[in-house]
Chains A and B, each alone.
Chain A
Amino acid sequence: EFELTQSPDTLSLSPGERATLSCRASQSLSSSYIAWYRQKPGQAPRLLVYGASHRAPGIPDRFSGSGSGADFTLTISSLEPEDFAVYYCQQYGSSPTWTFGQGTKVEIK
């Protein structure tokens, strides 16, 4: 079964700091198949990045995605108050067809 492992589980940072979130796949995959989401409490996930590095419409440029093969990264260049939330990476293709990582919580230090 395909797995995505996110690290760290929790990231404690202050507003204005840079956040670097990692997503590692259990096997190599096309970067077209990787997306990132932010989920605030009580809300549905919101798409941030697709195709590993393409920002979704309306997403500010402080969010950037990178990576290839089995290692992918979401970077938030300067944390805003609304960025303290849980972030998920997601892949398409291997069984099960869609898989999410376990999430990284970005909390206020």
Chain B
Amino acid sequence: QVQLQQWGAGLLKPSETLSLTCTVHGAALSDYYWSWIRQSPGKGLEWIGEVNHGGSTNYNPSLENRVTISVDRSKNQFSLKLRSVTAADTAVYFCARNVIYYFYMDVWGKGTTVTVSS
């Protein structure tokens, strides 16, 4: 059974860098893309970006200038960095596996709550 275990700092000050990591258990990074998605309080889902096992990335244009998603094949992990955070970045952040051919996200992490406050 594939599981995604995510972790990272939950409280940040404005202008700091958000850093989250997702470890993949029960599957290899290859053959899939891996995404980060966030959900602001009381709001819907916003896709942040994705990475594959080779390190190729795609980002949401609305966040592209602040986001870096990377992969560590040796640890079967992928990570998110979001620079210069503001209160608007307060959200629950999820990692997920993307299935390609039919296009959907079939496995999700439990979510990490990140709060940006001075």
Bound pair (A, B): yes
Pick from A32, A96, A98, A103: contact of B102, CB under 8 Å: A32
* Closest residue on chain B to residue A93 by CB atoms: B103
Of A32, A44, A50, A90, which one neighbours B94 at CB under 8 angstroms? A44
The smallest beta-carbon distance between A97 and chain B, in angstroms, is: 5
Contact B58 A97 (CB under 8 A): yes
On whether A96 and B103 interact (CB within 8 A), knowing A44-B109, A44-B110, the answer reads no
Assign chain A's interface to a size class: 20 to 34
**Given A44-B94, A95-B61, residue A100 in contact with residue B47 (CB < 8 A):** yes
Query: How far apart sit A103 and B46, CA to CA, in the bound complex (Å)?
Result: 12
Residues 35 to 60 of chain A near chain B (Cβ within 8 Å):
35, 37, 43-47, 50-51, 54, 56
A102 at the interface (CB under 8 A from B): yes
CB within 8 Å for A103 and B61 given contacts A45-B108, A50-B104: no
Interface size class of chain B, counting residues whose CB lies under 8 Å from the partner chain: 20 to 34
Residues of B within 8 A of A (CB): 35, 37, 44-47, 50, 58, 60-62, 94, 96, 98-99, 101-106, 108-111
The listed residue (A43, A97, A101) touching B47 by CB distance below 8 A is: A97
Q: Which residues of B contact A33 (CB under 8 A)?
A: 103
With A45-B45, A100-B47, A103-B44 given, is the CB distance from A90 to B62 under 8 Å? no
Docked-complex contact B44 and A35, CB < 8 angstroms: no
Q: How far is the CA of A93 from the CA of B58 in the complex (A)?
A: 11
A88 sits at the interface (CB 8 A)? yes
CA distance A53 to B84 in the complex (A): 41
Q: At the interface, yes or no: A99 with Cβ under 8 Å from chain B?
A: yes
With A35-B103, A50-B102 as contacts: A97 and B50 at CB distance below 8 Å: yes
Q: Mark A63-107, 1 if CB is under 8 A from B, else 0.
A: 000000000000000000000000010101101111111110000
Whether B47 pairs with A88 at a CB distance below 8 angstroms is no
A100 touches B105 (CB 8 A): no
Q: Which of B44, B58, B104 has the most CB of A within 10 A?
A: B104
Question: In the complex, what residues of A have CB within 8 A of residue B50's CB?
Answer: 97-98
| Alpha-carbon distance A90/B48, docked complex (angstroms) | 14
Given A32-B102, A32-B103, A33-B103, A88 and B44 touching (CB < 8 A)?
yes
